[in-house]
Amino acid sequence: MIQTSTATRPAPAEIDRSVQGTVLFCFGSAIFWLLAGCLLHAVAGAKLVMPGFLDGIGFLTYGRVLPAATNAIAFGWASLSAIGVALWLCARLNGAMLRASALIVSAVVAWNAAVLVGVLAILAGSSTGIPGLEMPGGVSVVLLVAYLPIGLWALSTFRTGAPGFVSQWYLVAALLAFPWLYTTANALLVWQGTPGSAMGAIFAWFDSGFFGLWLLPIALAAAYYFLPRAAGRPVFSRGLASLGFWTLVLCAGWMGTSRFQGGPIPAWMVSAGVVAAILLILPAIAVSSNLYLTIGDACERLWMQTPARFLITSAVFFLGWVSLLIIVTLPPVNSIIQFSLVNPGLTQTALHGIASLAFIGVLYALLGVRHPESTITPRSSLVFWLIVTGVGLILCASFFGGFFQGFALSDPIVTFANSITYAAPFRWVELAGHLCLLAAAAGLARDFAEQLLVSSPAQAPKPAAAQRPEVAAV
C-alpha cells in the first residue's frame, strides 16, 4: 500500500479536481447503459404481455433481449457507476490524488467497449446461457484486464494500518471481491465449462456475491460516507457498523444456494444458503439502525438534500429487500413461489432500489461539488420519484403476481396455462414499472448533460462539503 502522510495530504477540493473528470466519465457512460438496459428490459416486459410484439426476429427474441438488458444494467450501469463511486470515495477518504487518470480512463473505455461487444453478442445469439454471465468469454477477459488498473489504483490509495472509516471497510471488501467473484465464475463456467449441477452452486455463489459483495458494499460505503457528513455527526456506533459489515461479507457469499431448495445440489448446501439468507437480517438491521441513529432529528433537513434523499431511501430499500427475501426464502413459502415472478422482482428491487439509488445519490453529490445546490431540485426529485415508483410497481407486481402464479404452479389441479393467466395483469404493472425506470434514466441523462454543460470546473465555486473536516467515526 502506498504511504500517504497526513502532512502531504492534499486539500479535498484538489482531490476532487483530480478525480472528477474520470468519475464523471464513468457515470456518463454508465448512464448510457442504464438507458439502454432499461429500454431493453421494457421491450422484454412488453413481449411477455404482447407475445406478438417484435416476434419472430432472432436478435429481438425474449430470451436474448432479457439477458442483454440485465448484462447492460449489471456490467454497464451498476458496475461502472460503482467504479466511479469507489474511485471518488477512495481518493477522498485516503487523501489521494488521481494522477494516472489517462490510464484509468483508458480502462473505462475498454470496459465500455467490452460491454458493448458483450451485449451485441448476446443479441446476435452468442450467449453462454448462464444467467448473469451471458457475455462471451473474451468479453469477461477484457473486463477483468480493464478492472486491473482501476482496482489496483483504488486499493493503492489505502494507507497501512487499520482503515479508520466504516466506508473504507466496504470499499476494500468490494474492490477485492469483484475480481475474485468474476474470475472464479468465468474460469469455471465460461472459459471452460463445468458439467452437471455444480454449475448451479457456482453460479449461485457468483450471483449473490455480485450484488452482496460488489454492488451493495459500495452503496453502503456511500451511505456511511455521505449521510454522517450531511448530518454533521459521526457514525453512531462503530460496534454496530462492525457487526453489519462482517455479517454482510459472511452471509453474501453463502446465501446464494437458498434459491435451489429441492434442487439437484446437496441438501446441506441449500440449508446453509437458507440460514445465511435469514442471517442477512443482522447487517440489514445493524446498517439501517446505525444510519438512522446517526441522522437522528436531521432526517427532515437531509430529505431536502438530493444525495441524502437518495442514500436514505437506498438504506430503507436495503432493510425492506432483506425482510422480503427472508420471507420468500422460508421453505414453506419458497416451495410455492420458487419459480414465480417473485425472485426476479426482488433482484430488480435490490439492483435499482438499493444500488441505483445510492449511486445516483453520489452522482448528485459530485455534480453538487461542481455546482453547489443543497436543496433538492425539481429534476432530481422527478428522477427520484420515478425510480421509487418504478421499483415499487415492480416489487408489488412481482410479489402479489408471484404468489398468485406460485399457487397456480403448485396446485396439481390448476393447469399451467392458468398460471400464465393469473400472472398476466401483474406483468402489465411490472412493465409500467420498467417504463418508469426508463423515464428516470432519461431524466437522469438530461440532468447530467445539462449540469455538465452549465458548469465547468474552473467556474465552480469552492465546494462547501469538501471544506468540512471528516466527521465520520474514527
Partner 1 sequence: MTKLIAGLVVAVGSSWAAMVAYPFAKLATLQPEVSEETGGLLPPPLPGNAIAGQRVYAANGCVHCHSQQVRPAPFATDIARDLGTRQTVARDYLRYDPAFLGLVRTGPDLSNVGVRHQEAAWFFRHLYEPEQVTPGSIMPSFRYLFEEREIQGQRSALAVDVQGPHAPKPGYEIVPKQDAIELVAYLMSLKRDYPLTEAPPPPPAE
Positions in 258-317 near partner 1 (CB under 8 A) = 259-266, 269, 272, 276
- What residue type is 29 in one-letter code? S
Q: Is 161 in the site for partner 1 (CB under 8 A)?
A: yes
Minimum gap (Å) between residue 16 Cβ and partner 1: 24
Who's near 286: CB < 8 A, 6+ residues apart?
240, 241, 243, 244, 247
Distance separating alpha carbons of residues 260 and 445, to the nearest angstrom = 38
- State yes or no: residue 62 binds partner 1 (CB under 8 A): yes
Q: What is the DSSP string of 291-354?
A: HHHHHGGGHHHHHTSHHHHHHHHHHHHHHHHHHHHHHHHSHHHHHHHTTSSHHHHHHHIIIIII
Applying CB under 8 A, among 28, 45, 67, 390 the residue interacting with partner 1 is: 67
How close are the terminal C-alpha atoms of the chain, in Å?
20
Contact between 197 and 263 under an 8 Å Cβ cutoff? The reply is yes
73, three cell numbers: 444494467
One residue of 35, 39, 107, 130 binding partner 1 per CB under 8 A: 130
Residues 6+ apart with CB under 8 A from 280: 247, 248, 251, 252, 255, 322, 325, 326
The dihedral region occupied by 196, where left means phi > 0, alpha psi between -120 and 50, and beta the remainder, is left
Output 386 or 423, the one with its CB closest to partner 1. Answer: 423
Q: Does 253 bind partner 1 (CB under 8 A)?
A: yes
- Any idea of the CA torsion for 374, 357, 441, 73, to the nearest 10 degrees? 150
Report the residue number, 163 or 425, with the smaller CB distance to partner 1. 163
Using CB under 8 A, which of 165, 210, 225, 254 touches partner 1?
254
Torsion of Cα atoms, 90 then 93 then 95 then 99, to 10°: 20
CB of 334 to partner 1, least distance (A): 9
Question: By C-beta, is 76 or 283 nearer to partner 1?
Answer: 283
User: Does 398 help bind partner 1 (rule: CB under 8 A)?
Assistant: no
Residue with cell 406478438: 52
Nearer to partner 1, 169 or 404 (CB): 169
Stretch that binds partner 1, among 88-96, 244-252, 374-382, 438-446 (CB under 8 A): 244-252
For partner 1 (CB under 8 A), the number of binding residues is 87
Q: Which stretch binds partner 1 (CB under 8 A): 64-72, 97-105, 302-310, 316-324?
A: 64-72
Tell me how many degrees the CA angle 231-236-241 measures, rounded to the nearest 5. 120
Q: Closer to partner 1 by CB, 345 or 443: give it.
A: 345
Report the site for partner 1 in 170-209 (rule: CB under 8 A).
172-173, 176-177, 180, 184, 188-189, 193-202, 204-205, 209
Q: How many residues does the chain have?
A: 474
**Per CB under 8 A, 141 contacts partner 1:** no
Alpha carbon distance 218, 174 (integer Å): 7
- The least CB distance from residue 230 to partner 1, in Å, is 26
Part of the chain binding partner 1 (CB under 8 A), chosen from 51-59, 315-323, 371-379, 387-395 = 51-59
Among positions 420, 449, 464, 474, the unique one binding partner 1 when judged by CB under 8 A: 420
The distance of closest approach from Cβ of residue 127 to partner 1 in the complex, given in angstroms and rounded to an integer, is 5
Which one, 246 or 385, has the nearer CB to partner 1?
A: 246
Stretch that binds partner 1, among 33-41, 76-84, 108-116, 330-338 (CB under 8 A): 330-338
Is residue 344 within the footprint of partner 1 (CB under 8 A)? yes
Q: In the set 340, 349, 380, 451, which binds partner 1 (CB under 8 A)?
A: 340
**29 vs 71 by CB, closer to partner 1:** 71
DSSP 160: S
Rg (CA), the chain: 22
The nearest distance, CB 252 to partner 1, in angstroms, is 8
Give the orientation angle of helix 267-279 with respect to helix 306-329, to 10 degrees: 140
108 close to 57: Cβ distance less than 8 angstroms: no
Q: Contacting partner 1 (CB under 8 A), which of 29, 101, 343, 348?
A: 343
**Binding to partner 1 by residue 128, rule CB under 8 A?**
yes
Q: Residue 33 in contact with residue 77, Cβ under 8 Å?
A: yes
Min CB(47)–partner 1 separation in Å: 7
The reply to whether 239 sits near partner 1 by the rule CB under 8 A is no
48 vs 114 by CB, closer to partner 1: 48
Considering beta carbons, is residue 158 or 448 the nearer one to partner 1? 158
Fill in the DSSP letter of residue 461: P
Decide: is 397 part of the binding site for partner 1 (CB under 8 A).
no
Residue-wise DSSP of 252-296: HHHGGGGGGTTSSS-HHHHHHHHHHHHHTHHHHHHHHHHHHHHHG
The residue with cell 460491454 is 115
